[in-house]
Chains A and B, each alone.
Chain A
Amino acid sequence: MERLRVLVTDDEPGMTAAVERVLKDYCVSLSGVTGEVGFEVDTALTGEEALEIMEQRSPDILLLDYKLPGISGLDVLDRVTAGEAETLTVMITAYATLETAVSATKRGAWDFLAKPFTPDELKSTIRKAAGSVILSRQARRLAAEKRMVRFQFISVLAHELKAPLAAIEGYLHIVNDRVSGDDLAAYDHVFERCMIRTRHMRKLVMDLLDLTRIESGQKTRELTQTDIVEAARHAMETAEPEASQRNISINLEAPDSVLMRADRAEIGMIFNNLLSNAVKYNRDGGSVTVALAEEDDTVTIKVADTGIGMSKEEVDRLFDEFVRIRNERTRDILGSGLGLSIVKKLALLYGGRVHVESKPDAGSTFTVTLSKQPAPDPVQLADTAS
């Protein structure tokens, strides 16, 4: 059971004892918390004593009397507000006037409890405070997790950018040192590798820009009547050169046109990423089939390849950022590791989803369903999509 710490500060010992008695066995169940929340009570008879206790361990909730023998309740409140601990202060007062309430609220009090109060009034106030403590705790945890994810993303990104730089730099040194002699032709493959790594580094940067634009919701979306079939044909043309080099055929199974309200660039990104993967991870002489269908309010895009496929464990990790399935078969395939997270985030913008079916050595089928309904606001989506 989760326990919240309560510190009761009042100069009447009978009062602190009563509060302790009431809260000792009091449990509340709050939404968003599994199990009940109980309370651990500390007591202090003066402001000085309260500050001392708080220095040792800060309470989640502070019940604080206005009128104290030494430093006043408001002085204690000021110290709490100035401190770093996340403590909710509930002022106890015998003369609750609007004025005192306003001044204490300004100084950081969260709630009031008018003296004399019944056990039920105390419980109800504590219950409210506990809800707020738990809520802000969860918000903090979430924010910390988000920071962590961001940090991890950046460190992986830095690594992904460093790798091609190191490769290119190494090749430059080789040419600079004339390792293979003075004949420039001896370095043909060196230049070729440098160009390949540069191209992929650029792709990574471009994907990254796409991704941040989608996530930030700052990308201006132009929703127009868009023909998905035409978008598919366009992406097929883009993928064609690489495919034909490796004897991979790309086929389209679709009606003459499938119309939906969409941003052309976004639909293009979905197709380009799916097709580029389907070619990249295919076998030489394999095939890619793009199938489009429309059903009431949804459009379904299926891209199937005859490639190396994936195991169930690999599929589970697939949509994470920078996850590139690393094994002997994928080693020579370069990618940014961002393509599928882009596809997934875009699908979400259209109230859709991405589904993968895959069999090792047989191939993978990516199914993207998009809703024709008006797209939700991408700004709100930034949270749910991450």
Chain B
Amino acid sequence: MSDASKKVLLVDDDVDFLEQLKMRLEAMDFEVLAADGETAAYELLKETRPDLVVLDLMMEHMDAGFNLAYRIKKMDKSIPVILVTAVESQTGMGFGTGGWLKADAVLAKPVRFEQLKREIQRLIN
């Protein structure tokens, strides 16, 4: 499988959602790095360059997800970033993928795994 040993960084402060995503992606033979917050994500990013990042936009600080997305893109523009957010469904506020944030995909929470899987496969190959 071409996805084998590709590294996916998951960042979400919902530890159960994080665990569930991890299990599912591991079942697809991805190597999964899970971070339950900004700090943990920065630690992991020091040592590893992931092939893709799935990032929850709203963590304990309102702008944690934005900062992280920005830092990752600044570090390496070619790393695809998928933003996961409940904000769109809660406020009707759209982010899109063409804005300053330059996310490669934006998914609304609750995320259907099939949809996330499609986006990951599209972006990682």
Residues on A close to B: CB < 8 A? 163, 166-167, 170-171, 174, 179-180, 189-190, 193, 197, 326-328, 331-332
Contacts and interface: CB of A to CB of B under 8 A. Distances in A.
A196 to B, nearest CB: 9
Contacts of B39: 328
16 contacts: A166-B17, A167-B16, A167-B20, A170-B17, A170-B20, A171-B20, A174-B23, A179-B24, A180-B23, A189-B19, A190-B23, A328-B39, A328-B60, A331-B13, A331-B15, A331-B37
Contacts of A332: 15, 36
B98 interface: no
B16 A193 contact: yes
Contacts of B14: 163, 167
A189 B16 CA distance: 11
Nearest to A330: B60
Given A193-B16, A327-B60, A328-B60, A166 B23 contact: no
Given A179-B23, A193-B16, 12 more contacts: A163-B14, A166-B110, A170-B16, A170-B20, A171-B16, A174-B23, A179-B24, A190-B23, A328-B38, A328-B39, A331-B13, A332-B36
Contacts of A170: 16-17, 20
Nearest to A189: B19
Interface hub of B13, B17, B60 (most chain A Cβ within 10 A): B60
A239 B37 CA distance: 29
B91 to A, nearest CB: 14
A170 B17 CA distance: 8
Nearest to B38: A328
Interface of B: 13-17, 19-20, 23-24, 27, 36-39, 60, 110
B20 A326 contact: no
Contacts of B20: 167, 170-171, 174
Given A174-B23, A180-B23, A326-B60, A167 B17 contact: yes
Nearest to A197: B16
B26 to A, nearest CB: 8
A197 B20 CA distance: 14
B90 to A, nearest CB: 10
A160 B32 CA distance: 28
A332 B13 CA distance: 9
A136 B121 CA distance: 63
A333 to B, nearest CB: 11
Contacts of B36: 331-332
A93 to B, nearest CB: 57
Contacts of A189: 19
A13 B38 CA distance: 75
Nearest to B25: A179
A328 B37 contact: yes
Q: Which 5 A-B pairs have the closest CB atoms?
A: A167-B16, A170-B20, A179-B27, A326-B60, A179-B23
Nearest to A332: B15
A197 to B, nearest CB: 7
A14 B120 CA distance: 83
Contacts of A171: 16, 20
Contact of A180 (B13, B16, B27): B27
